[in-house]
């Protein structure tokens, strides 16, 4: 199911190194290489899904699982009370740069402005 040309598939398969903070049968979470806030994690499904545009109904339960993993990781990082944000970028106008579905978990400092 891995895409040989996909950076996050290679991270999931541990073909290239990353700072993995959590993994289970369905997802892997690791530190973003270019953190935008003190806590900046990426949570990705093991299976290659290019973006939300490609998500199928069967795969949609992954999103709930990612949310639960994010909740636990926020607690572990001790940002559950101070606040955190989950972001998914889909496509060019949203600024998606890696086409393997991922959720950004952001926190650890006040975030400038509200996007929505």
- Residues lying near ligand 5GP in the complex (CB under 6 A) are found at 7, 18, 30-34, 42, 89, 95-98
Answer yes or no: 102 catalytic: yes
In the set 26, 48, 93, 102, the catalytic residue is 102
Q: Pick from 43, 62, 100, 101 the residue near Zn ion by CB under 5 A.
A: 100
**Per-residue mark of binding to Zn ion, 42-61 (x: CB under 5 A):** ------x-------------
Please tell me the distance from the alpha carbon of residue 30 to that of residue 13, in angstroms, as a whole number: 13
Give Cβ neighbours of residue 86 (< 8 Å, ≥ 6 apart). Answer: 67, 70, 103, 104, 105, 106
- Shortest spacing between CB 15 and Zn ion, in angstroms: 11
Query: Quick one: how many helices (H) and strands (E) in the chain?
Result: 2, 5
How many degrees, rounded to 5, is the angle at CA 110 between CA 71 and CA 70? 10
**Contacting positions for Zn ion (CB under 5 A):** 3, 6, 8-9, 48, 100
Residues involved in catalysis: 102
């Amino acid at each position: 199911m891995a895409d040989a040309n996909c950076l996050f598939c290679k991270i999931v398969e541990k073909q290239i190194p990353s700072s993995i903070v959590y993994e289970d049968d369905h997802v892997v979470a690791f530190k973003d290489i270019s953190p935008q806030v003190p806590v900046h994690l990426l949570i990705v499904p093991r299976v290659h899904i290019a973006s939300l545009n490609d998500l199928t109904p069967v795969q949609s339960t992954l999103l709930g699982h990612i949310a639960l993993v994010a909740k636990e990781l926020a607690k572990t990082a001790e940002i559950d009370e101070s606040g955190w944000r989950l972001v998914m970028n889909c496509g060019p106008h949203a600024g998606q740069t890696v086409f393997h579905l991922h959720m950004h978990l952001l926190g650890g400092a006040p975030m400038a402005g509200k996007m929505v």
